[in-house]
Copies of this chain bind each other. A is one copy, B any other.
Amino acid sequence: MSRTLPDLSLYLVLGAADTGKRPFEEVVLAAIEGGVTMVQLRDKQATTRVLLEHALRLKALLEPRGVPLIVNDRIDVALAAGAAGVHLGQDDMPPALARRLVGADMLIGLSVSDRVEADTADPETVDYIGIGSVFPTGTKADAGTAIGPAFAAELRQLVDLPSVAIGGLNASNAGQLRGSGIEGLAVVSAICAAADPAQAARELRQTYFG
């Protein structure tokens, strides 16, 4: 495989609406300062044109800082923006088909929330998995019931791929995942809604990686 595995340790997921009145650039820059290693653009409401504009703005911000940009669901937008990869939910393009569209160089992430979905995560096609929702979350309407940290750890052991935990994670509960083997934390509001996104990122790292 011609792709480099990314640093999944702190993975910020956001759409323009998640940063409220602050421009998303401001939040993203602070988050990177605080230790975010990867950014995913996720916006199911935006038109294709707006999503593409946001992807291009994020890429301009991230590329000079060596932080990969991942686009949720939209392979067309990921390709048009020259993103580092796509993240696929179970309602998105099946990973094998996605791989044919994106070629060998782009990263593919896959969300898994149960054993059946974990079984479909083929390491030949998929580069990393997102395990969740670990805790209840308000930022994803279709996130389903929270699976809890113990089951998240179990899912991690079923898949031979690096992983991030996602769903309702914050500096108070992320410690419950220590020892799970899960490689990184993915968050939306723990950083986007924080008064100080850089400090929030630092605290998340401290809680999980010590």
A contact set with B: CB distance below 8 Å: 47-50, 52, 73-77, 79-80, 90-94, 97-98, 100-101
Contact = CB atoms under 8 A, between A and B. Distances in A.
Contacts of A91: 47-50
A73 B50 CA distance: 13
Given A48-B73, A73-B48, A80 B101 contact: yes
B93 A76 contact: yes
A97 B80 contact: yes
Contacts of A101: 76, 79-80
Contact of A92 (B48, B98, B100): B48
A169 to B, nearest CB: 25
A96 to B, nearest CB: 10
A93 B80 CA distance: 9
A72 B80 CA distance: 17
A97 B81 CA distance: 9
A35 to B, nearest CB: 32
A142 to B, nearest CB: 9
Nearest to A97: B80
Nearest to A90: B49
Contacts of A90: 49
B52 A93 contact: yes
B80 A48 contact: no
Contacts of A75: 76
Given A49-B93, A52-B93, 12 more contacts: A47-B92, A48-B73, A48-B74, A48-B91, A48-B92, A48-B93, A49-B91, A49-B94, A76-B76, A76-B93, A77-B93, A79-B101
Contacts of A47: 91-92
A75 B94 CA distance: 15
